[in-house]
A and B are shown apart, each in its own frame.
Chain A
């Protein structure tokens, strides 16, 4: 059985890093040297997509796709969102516009989120404790969205696996792991 999950979110949130952290195979990344404001954050940026695979107990495979973060690549958001089980939305809490980015991505992916599922992973909370997870939950709630919000370090295989499991659990509590 094959499943697909999309990792999306603003620039620097940790999408490429997260997929690399949990992919069982060497992930495909499409990074180029950043020349716009992104370069103030990091030297490279994804320009097409990331791709990795995670194998669950029972042999099921989860195909992990990552999008670029800049809005000029939003055609990739559309392309990559097709046919997925749900979205892992990563938000960089240390960015000054974290909440704005959450709202932006909720808006852009509204239809996909409604049809499928969402998990929000808040990264870099060690660098910036505000906004809090409760703030994110409140924001989702006022948008009428029920979704788990977890703190995550995108470099940590355990944290990222938890995000994926949370998403899969939302969809079907029987998928990939011990029954509740």
Chain B
């Protein structure tokens, strides 16, 4: 079942890096397709917010001459949010700890997004 395969991909991402705290695959209109998130995070909210931010990021990047969107990065006091396209119709959202080494995380996230894109 595809949902299980997607879930397995997210579990693998989570295991690959101790600094990934949550990950979800969301449709571009904000519906969660698979998620690996701890208690206390509302996955419907995460889905809708991811879609909204990715969409705005896309428009801004194009209109402000930054080219095609590669990722949206949000830095909070307690960690990061990374949003990246996983295929044309889905978004991979990753939440990391404050001490995450972004360079390594970006590689893992990109690879995971490509894997998801092949599947869906």
Interface size class of B (residues with CB under 8 A): 10 to 19
Q: Which residues of A contact B59 (CB under 8 A)?
A: 28, 30
Does B28 lie within 8 Å of A72, measured CB to CB?
A: no
Interface size class of A (residues with CB under 8 A): 10 to 19
Q: Is B49 an interface residue (CB 8 A)?
A: yes
Does B52 lie within 8 Å of A47, measured CB to CB?
A: yes
B-contact bits for A47-85, CB 8 A (1 contact / 0 none): 111000000000000000000101011011000000000
For the complex, give the distance between the alpha carbons of A176 and B89 in Å.
Answer: 43
From B45, B56, B89, give the contact of A30 (CB < 8 A).
Answer: B56
Does B28 lie within 8 Å of A32, measured CB to CB?
A: yes
Does A33 lie within 8 Å of B52, measured CB to CB?
A: no
A-contact bits for B32-55, CB 8 A (1 contact / 0 none): 000000000000110111011101
Q: Is B108 an interface residue (CB 8 A)?
A: no
Q: Is B117 an interface residue (CB 8 A)?
A: no
Nearest residue (CB) in A for B49 is A75
Shortest Cβ distance from B28 into chain A, in angstroms?
A: 4
Nearest residue (CB) in A for B33 is A35
For the complex, give the distance between the alpha carbons of A48 and B83 in Å.
Answer: 15
CB within 8 Å of A: which residues of B?
27-31, 44-45, 47-49, 51-53, 55-56, 58-59, 63, 89
CB within 8 Å of B: which residues of A?
28, 30-36, 38, 45, 47-49, 68, 70, 72-73, 75-76
